[in-house]
Amino acid sequence: MRRRGLVNLIVVGLLVLAAVLALTGPTSPLAPLLSPLSYENATLSIHDENDTELATVDVRVADTERERYVGLSNTVSLADGEGMLFVHPESGTYPYVMRDMAFPIDIVFAGENGTITTIHHAPLPGNPSDPLKQYRGQGQYVLEVPYGWTNASGISVGDRLSIPESVAE
């Protein structure tokens, strides 16, 4: 009786091991979800209504659903002039949250033509009962930069992100 129980335990263990290997191997349907992200890099500039350049920012481009979901989660920090540009397939109203963030950010929403529609100054989540406060805005592009960077650069609603053609396509 004990031997049969041991054999059953070994068989179950081998089945679990086989399932784990099948789900995490290189040909697994989960492989794309488990592999590290590889973001495209770009530089964009921000201009005012007179077409005066206010700032430039080097961005990692998040243009897939997975990249947009992960975003800056688990990123240690951003230097001035660094950020992430989220590219949505179409213009719409989108909620953004501070999932697994270690630093505060500015969240800049821009329409399909690059015009800034909303700027949020998002501190680190401080309320344990609401760790995923939503910052909503309208647009096709969302730029995340270090907290206060938009104020320091003189960027405001109505200014325009110049999106590189390689990113806008």
pLDDT, one tens digit per residue, over 138-153 is 999 999 999 999 999 9
**pLDDT level of residue 102 (50, 70, 90 thresholds):** confident
As given in the structure block, the two tokens for residue 13 are: 């263990």
What is the β-pairing status of strands 135-146 and 105-110? Answer: antiparallel
Q: What is residue 24's predicted lDDT score, i.e. its pLDDT? A: 46
Q: Which amino acid is at 84?
A: M
What does the chain come to in residues? 169
Average pLDDT over residues 75-89: 93
Average pLDDT over residues 113-135: 84
Helices (H), the chain: 2-24, 31-34, 65-70, 149-153, 165-168
How large a percentage of the chain has pLDDT more than 90?
60
Q: Which amino acid is at 133?
A: K
| DSSP summary character for residue 64 | S
pLDDT, one tens digit per residue, over 31-55 is 444 445 788 999 999 999 999 999 9
* pTM for the model: 0.77
Q: Is the pLDDT of residue 60 over 80?
A: yes
pLDDT, one tens digit per residue, over 13-30 is 666 555 555 554 444 444
What are phi and psi for residue 32, nearest 5 degrees? -60, -30
Mean pLDDT in the chain? 84
Q: What is residue 47's predicted lDDT score, i.e. its pLDDT? A: 97
